[in-house]
């Protein structure tokens, strides 16, 4: 466990370890709120006390961004590589493969949500989509919670963008029966195939952001990427307060 400027984060020792975590989480009768954090989320948390507070309450914030691993490496003299990053978009590969797991997809537009559900069940034979709802339905939280609970799902993935998804989770988690709940930003768009994952060599060379920018050359995306330059500068200057826990 590490803490970067007071944001706790977890670097699993191996793929097996993260798989074991989800295996345990799914076999217990408790609720597990987790998160996958990248530099954008980290920067948001630095500015938004709610986001920071939320990330301090979650059970694990798995690192989904090479920039955060680099910051830890520079200050703690660790040697984490791109393989130690656990992306929220690879979530299904962290789940136990030997049993059926029910997943509810909430968020993104209707077309992407439906396509993602189809692609996920095609690719992962152990995953059943217990239900799905796009993120633009005119439904009350009461209705949404009731739809999710009626589906008897194990996992709820909320993709409304940050911090909207975190606000939604915080407001509704106590009424949800699912065992694992987390926000996953634009992951449904990835799973739908509408937004493509960067090629392996770009991921390995930490250029995923460039590929993403190429696919979505909007003002919003450009501004987001620009905000990462001061972050990179701070990594070079070792301007982070990193604490190492157990
Ligand atoms: N979204 C949604 N409902 C909303 C606002 C956003 O379902 O009211 C979805 C949007 O369609 C997209 C996701 O939330 O699929 C946000 O993606 P983005 O890449 O902006 O999120 P990030 O990963 O940066 O948090």
Sequence-distant (6+) residues with CB within 8 A of 77 are none
Whether 121 lines ligand 1, by a CB cut-off of 6 Å, is no
pTM of the model: 0.94
Which of 161, 163, 195, 224 has the most ligand 1 atoms within 8 A of CB, as the residue to mutate? 161
Whether 188 lines ligand 1, by a CB cut-off of 6 Å, is yes
H or E segment to which residue 88 belongs: none
pLDDT of residue 246: 66
Say which residue the tokens 């660790």 belong to: 78
Whether 65 lines ligand 1, by a CB cut-off of 6 Å, is no
Sequence-distant (6+) residues with CB within 8 A of 58 are 8, 33, 34, 35
Whether 107 lines ligand 1, by a CB cut-off of 6 Å, is yes
Q: Report the C-alpha gap between 193 and 195 in whole angstroms.
A: 5
Residue 236 Cα to ligand 1 midpoint, Å, equals 31
Residue 97 Cα to ligand 1 midpoint, Å, equals 28
Whether 64 lines ligand 1, by a CB cut-off of 6 Å, is no
Atom 17, ligand 1: residue with shortest CA distance? 186
pLDDT of residue 118: 98
Helices 49-57 and 39-47: crossing angle in degrees, nearest 10, is 120
Residue 186 Cα to ligand 1 midpoint, Å, equals 5
pLDDT in tens, the chain (246 residues): 899 999 999 999 999 999 999 999 999 999 999 999 999 999 999 999 999 999 999 999 999 989 999 999 999 899 999 899 999 999 999 999 999 999 999 999 999 999 999 999 999 999 999 999 999 999 999 999 999 999 999 999 999 999 999 999 999 999 999 999 999 999 999 999 998 878 888 877 778 778 878 888 888 888 888 888 899 999 988 899 999 886
Could you tell me if 64 and 90 are in contact, meaning their C-beta atoms sit under 8 angstroms apart?
Answer: no
* Dihedral sign (CA 15, 203, 36, 127): negative
Looking at the CA of residue 224, tell me the nearest atom of ligand 1. 24
pLDDT of residue 4: 95
Q: Report the C-alpha gap between 241 and 235 in whole angstroms.
A: 11
The gap between the terminal CA atoms of the chain, to the nearest Å, is 6
* Dihedral sign (CA 131, 135, 114, 102): negative
Could you tell me if 120 and 112 are in contact, meaning their C-beta atoms sit under 8 angstroms apart?
Answer: no
């Amino acid at each position: 466990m590490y803490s970067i400027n007071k944001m706790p984060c977890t670097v699993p020792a191996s793929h097996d370890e993260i798989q074991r975590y989800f295996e345990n989480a799914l076999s217990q009768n408790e609720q597990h709120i987790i998160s996958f954090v990248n530099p954008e989320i980290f920067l948001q948390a630095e500015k938004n006390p709610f986001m920071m507070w939320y990330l301090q309450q979650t059970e694990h914030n798995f690192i989904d961004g090479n920039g955060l691993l680099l910051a830890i490496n520079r200050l703690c003299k660790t040697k984490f590589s791109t393989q130690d990053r656990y992306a929220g978009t690879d979530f299904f590969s962290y789940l136990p493969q030997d049993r059926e797991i029910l997943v509810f997809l909430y968020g993104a537009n209707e077309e992407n949500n439906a396509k993602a559900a189809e692609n996920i069940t095609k690719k992962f034979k152990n995953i059943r989509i217990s239900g799905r709802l796009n993120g633009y339905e005119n439904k009350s939280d009461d209705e949404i919670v009731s739809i999710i609970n009626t589906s008897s799902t194990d996992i709820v993935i909320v993709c409304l963008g940050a911090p909207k998804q975190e606000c939604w989770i915080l407001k509704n988690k106590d009424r949800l029966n699912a065992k694992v709940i987390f926000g996953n930003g634009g992951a449904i768009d990835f799973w739908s195939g509408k937004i493509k994952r960067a090629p392996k060599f770009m991921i390995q060379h930490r250029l995923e952001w460039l590929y993403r920018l190429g696919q979505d050359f909007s003002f919003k995306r450009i501004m987001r990427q620009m905000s990462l330059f001061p972050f990179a500068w701070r990594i070079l200057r070792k301007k982070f307060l990193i604490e190492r826990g157990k």
